[in-house]
Amino acid sequence: MIYTEQTKKAIKLSFQAHAGQLDRCGLPYVTHPLHLAEQMPDEDCTVAALLHDVVEDTDYSLEDLRRMDFPPRALEAVALLTHDPAEPYMDYVARLKQNPVARTVKLADLRHNSDLTRLDTVTERDLARVEKYAAALRLLEEQ
């Protein structure tokens, strides 16, 4: 993990924003963005990893994050990583591919979300989701 003023602020916000949320196997949801952040190579990627689900899954808006003075490159990535359900999933993935910070975070996100060992029980729905994520990984890994 990279510890800077900005990443520490993002850690605190991630814990606050995801307080009470659980992942699919009942663990505190915040373990997911922390896992991604531990893999990131720089401050912008770390901040984006910590905040990547905040706008999508909590009451915080992108404007709220801007007012908190997070780095612009990190917030640009967060904006791209926030999936609008009206947009087809693969279009969303293709759109964020051109942004190096968003791409780095999404690759880690897809790999972590594809790890079926995190789940107590694997369903057909989980297998279908992993298949969708495998296609997204291929798209992001293409040069």
- Catalytically active residues, by annotation: 56-57
Paired tokens of 98: 């051109």
Instruction: Report angle CA 129, 35, 89 to the nearest 5 degrees.
Output: 30
Q: How far apart are CA 58 and CA 44, in angstroms?
A: 21
Assess contact for 45 and 64: CB atoms under 8 A. Answer: no
Q: How far apart are CA 89 and CA 133, in angstroms?
A: 10
Q: How far apart are CA 126 and CA 114, in angstroms?
A: 9
Backbone angles phi, psi at 16, to 5 degrees: -65, -50
Task: Please give the radius of gyration of the chain, using alpha carbons only, rounded to the nearest integer.
Answer: 15
